[in-house]
Structure 1
Amino acid sequence: MNSSLQGLVEAVTLCFEGLNGSCSRIVYTSALRVPLYLLFTVIVILIVSGNLLVICIILFSPHLQMATNYLILSLSVAGLLLGGLVLPASMVRSLETCWYFGEAFCDFHSTADIILCNTTVWHLTFISIDRYLAVCHPMHYQNRLTKRLYIAMIASSWGLSSVFGFAITLSNLEVVIKENFQKTCVGGCFALHAKEIGVEYSIVFYFIPVSIIVSVYSRVFFVARKHSKLIYSYTHNPKALNPSKDLKATKTLGIVIGNFLFCWTPFFMCNIIDPIVNHSIPSFLYEVLMWIAYLNTMFNPLIYAFFYRWFRETTKVLLNKLFKQF
């Protein structure tokens, strides 16, 4: 056990006492577990409520039911499912350091975790491509990006993530437990830390999408800024440098992408480095970085609330209608 954690650990026991083949359990002190249970519960509630609000706003607002918002709607569905289906069990596993929900639910949980996290990455990739076409090719934007194409983007995001998620679960890969040897034990559910998929997983669902997102966004920001300066040169209005619709939308997209990079980069870098250092990175650090990554799903609805006027205005209308009924 890492010496830096000794002050946080109350005891080291078994997940299932008296059972041969039980995984070991690290019992954290109550001073650590209780605040973290409260913190993780708040995170889960914010993820579920925030993404549910985005879904309701788009579904119950006819003027927002445009093809562009289908990507945001699908992204929020992934966030809602992640918060409702995956994170409660992840919270217990992280803080109790054991899996008490059975092998079948472990397979379901691991598969859902991989699918929902990775489909988020590809949704952000397609959202950046959508913004690129809107800003850099506005004359062809409406004709090229049809409703059918948006549905294809959404289906590709879910499909690629689902194929990879089920492939990992059904292949029944041996997993690496952090004492530097491979084994299976009762009370463990470690699918995301499989040695055989670490590098491939990071390349397919992080480095390739991030390369696309960063390159596309850099071009979008450059063009949007250029458009804003052209407007200023024709109007000579100092305010024209700021209110450009494309530039504002591009800056908001930049915040969404920056949030994604901030939350997910540490986990994927850890996933790449771990095999190089013979899987010596502690499980505790993996859990911390995984929860930082989950925060991405919580922050996205907050970004909409602060930076999208349509989100704030529609929220007010829906809340007013809701309170009038009571």
Structure 2
Amino acid sequence: MAILGNLLVMVAVCWDRQLRKIKTNYFIVSLAFADLLVSVLVMPFGAIELVQDIWIYGEMFCLVRTSLDVLLTTASIFHLCCISLDRYYAICCQPLVYRNKMTPLRIALMLGGCWVIPTFISFLPIMQGWNNIGIIDLIEKRKFNQNSNSTYCVFMVNKPYAITCSVVAFYIPFLLMVLAYYRIYVTAKEHAHQIQMLQRAGASSESRPQSADQHSTHRMRTETKAAKTLCIIMGCFCLCWAPFFVTNIVDPFIDYSVPGQVWTAFLWLGYINSGLNPFLYAFLNKSFRRAFLIILCCDDERYRRPSILGQTVPCSTTTINGSTHVLRKDFLFGRDILARHWTKPVRVDPFSGTLSIRCLTVRKPVLG
């Protein structure tokens, strides 16, 4: 599932031009590539060792496999952090600020950092043996399998490496993600309140009063949806990786007394995150789901984006916080979604004092 899900994400973005226009999707594709490599280069060898209870690929490949493990899982976490920062700038800042912050060069630098920085806590120290300093005798003792007279691929770390690796690979990204998603949630609540005000004003101007219960229900649904989405993302991330990195930073200070079975369980729990990421960051997105359906259903026309046929619809004006806004009824998309949209403040003639309104038009979509 992890391989299929991540491959679908990559193919969808490469195939769908609209998905390529969204900056966040560059991070999602790179994340999918990292998770795909985890599924192909790391997990199979770990599964073989787990089933056979022996490492048969030699000491050098053990170091390479361990380095790839640290590199790719850290890169995956870094991508999750970058996605949260990208969403923060997109939702919590003005559009101009987002365009200035998330330039193509900055996106390229962030993606490069997601892959380069992990090498300094993976291949460099592991191949140099810096993580083994002071505990080499303990590692040699634990890597020997007395039952089969063979060896395991054992990865143990000293205190300096455990602290450095855990802080860089997990705790700093985790803190940034918590702060970013908290601000996103607060902003979503503010936006829901503003939308409620505009809807009330629009209903009043059209002489179509709505009850307070309806507005409260709409606002509550908006806030609940945002809260659920953020809770799912952060909950899955913490559930998958927190046990491993808490154990990783504690074990050297308690004389490496954590059982090997616990280490294995926590490590594979982290691997599960590589299979969950496509569902959390892509499958929950309508545009991605439509692209997946088209790919899996051999370019079925039923799942293509709606074509444009049209007619104009009425619009009305309202004043909120001293600014005049144009509101218009929007089309029914699906079954029961009736949204209201508004434009920037309209122009007032400073000489005559008359209000100049240019009513916007909406074209009703027809699928197929």
TM-score normalised by structure 2 residue count: 0.69
Offset at residue 270 of structure 1 (A): 0.8
Counterparts of 1:14-53 in structure 2, within 5 Å, are 46-53=1-8
Q: Which amino acid aligns with 1:50?
A: G
Q: Which amino acid aligns with 2:2?
A: I
> Which consecutive unaligned segments of at least 5 residues does structure 1 have?
1-45
Q: Provide the residue aligned with 2:259 in structure 1.
A: 282
> Which consecutive unaligned segments of at least 5 residues does structure 2 have?
145-149, 201-213, 302-368
Q: Which amino acid aligns with 1:165?
A: S
* Residues 134, 141 of structure 1: 8 Å contact kept: yes
Which structure has greater helix proportion? Answer: 1
Are positions 1:291 and 2:248 aligned together? no
Q: Which amino acid aligns with 1:137?
A: C
* Residues 188, 226 of structure 2: 8 Å contact kept: no
Q: Provide the residue aligned with 1:36 in structure 2.
A: none
- Structure 1: distance between partners of 2:45 and 2:237: 23
* Residues 228, 247 of structure 1: 8 Å contact kept: no
Q: Provide the residue aligned with 1:78 in structure 2.
A: 34
- Structure 2: distance between partners of 1:75 and 1:248: 24
Offset at residue 138 of structure 1 (A): 2.6
- Say which of 118, 121, 144 aligns to 1:161: 118
- Percent same amino acid among aligned pairs? 29
- Structure 1: distance between partners of 2:228 and 2:109: 26
- Structure 1: distance between partners of 2:139 and 2:24: 46
Counterparts of 1:1-326 in structure 2, within 5 Å, are 46-66=1-21, 67-139=23-95, 140-173=97-130, 175=132, 181-183=138-140, 185=144, 187-191=151-155, 193-196=156-159, 197-236=161-200, 238=215, 240-241=218-219, 252-304=229-281, 306-321=283-298
What root-mean-square deviation, in Å, do the aligned CA atoms of Structure 1 and Structure 2 show?
2.6
* Residues 185, 226 of structure 2: 8 Å contact kept: no
Offset at residue 202 of structure 1 (A): 1.0
Offset at residue 111 of structure 1 (A): 1.1
TM-score normalised by structure 1 residue count: 0.77
* Residues 136, 223 of structure 1: 8 Å contact kept: yes
> Relative CO higher for 1 or 2, CA cutoff 8 Å, sep ≥ 6?
1
- Structure 2: distance between partners of 1:58 and 1:242: 33
- Structure 2: distance between partners of 1:182 and 1:299: 33
* Residues 157, 252 of structure 2: 8 Å contact kept: no
* Residues 174, 182 of structure 1: 8 Å contact kept: no
Matched positions, count = 275
- Structure 2: distance between partners of 1:84 and 1:258: 25
Indicate the structure (1 or 2) with the bigger Cα radius of gyration. 2
- Structure 1: distance between partners of 2:190 and 2:253: 44
